Structure 1
């Protein structure tokens, strides 16, 4: 069963919910983080960071393919998503950076990793790579959030002059 919070939908993340969840949990400084790790322990680790609206299971096909190809695949739920805790803190780049650093440390992953970020996971991956270049071997961005689209000049005119009501 997949759980995620939508608007005001309550989601109790208690021991019973964690017991029914796939994957594993680790307690970090800001709360519990839900994750899944597959593949040979000595293989190159690929970290998969999901976007805003869909938790870690968005990576299901990629996660399975990486593990089958001999990589060590790690995916996790960002704080506030999926089965990870929803700490009462400011949700910003520092929080997500700390979460990933602590997760890698807790799992004993000390070698540089390949990091893939999808949508909102893109800026998180960029921030992590910028702050910790020694921990990142490669960076992959999949439709990253935060990059403005190039628009034709007519689009700018439409934004300036509203068309009707």
Structure 2
């Protein structure tokens, strides 16, 4: 574990486990969580001989609770600061939800040789917000509602979201994990409210279309068909079509946080793609 200081003075916390000469896998967490959201996957790939790295986005987790720079340009630049500091080459970048947007924005701008492959898991690209050019997106009122709930009672909001739609625990017959719910709350409350508030605009209004078109490495797009946070039809399939070397893998009935609820299925699929 360590920190990297960005050009604007933000300390980015990161974990770096495994042999330094092993193939690196970099994990990018979703909103409003931290690197800890990838613990299951990091331990899995560590056991397979990989070097695993994950950082807390600015304002999230253990990184500086700065009040500014909560946008995809800064997120990508912060990622570059970490990969440059660790001199990662031929890395696989895996991002969940907002982290998937961060991956797309970073990989499209990465220095030659830094990235070998990428994975977008339940990710926000190409664009979540409903616009004239994106009629299948979600209305701005949805995101205004998230901001209002966060500002009114963040602690309660961070119980309601994982208890309900994030993991699909609101579905009939769902196998509920109180541990996942509690860990989601713990991670969320460690981060800064302003970073999370501004982050909603970053993940909902950023158009990643050009990023996806620029990416020249193989990308696996993984998305559950019962994603209640980032609806399947307006995300996974559209991203896969925009990518030069994109592959879509759909998961029937899986929720947004499927890497948490179904690691026994997601982890082997990630491994197969990385080894292919």
The structure carrying a bigger strand percent of its residues is 1
Q: Could you tell me which residue of structure 2 aligns to residue 119 of structure 1?
A: 97
Q: How does 1:1-165 map to 2 (within 5 A)?
A: 23-30=1-8, 31-109=10-88, 111-132=89-110, 134=112, 135-147=114-126, 148=137, 149=231, 150=233
Distance 1:122 1:133 in 2: 18
Runs of 4+ in 1 over 3 A off after TM superposition: 146-151
Shift of 1:39: 1.1
Contact 2:16/2:53, CA 8 A, preserved across alignment: yes
Distance 2:48 2:76 in 1: 28
Distance 1:131 1:26 in 2: 19
Distance 1:54 1:105 in 2: 23
Distance 1:123 1:83 in 2: 21
Q: Could you tell me which residue of structure 2 aligns to residue 6 of structure 1?
A: none
The structure carrying a bigger helix percent of its residues is 2
Instruction: Give the number of equivalent residue pairs.
Output: 128
Scaled by the length of structure 2, the TM-score of the pair is 0.44
SS in 2 for 1:104: helix
The CA RMSD over aligned residues, in Å, is: 1.7
Shift of 1:133: 6.2
Alignment gaps of 5+ in structure 2 = 127-136, 138-230, 235-276
SS in 1 for 2:61: coil
Shift of 1:91: 1.3
Scaled by the length of structure 1, the TM-score of the pair is 0.72
Distance 1:67 1:29 in 2: 31
Larger-gyration structure (1/2): 1
Distance 1:99 1:57 in 2: 18
Distance 1:132 1:27 in 2: 18
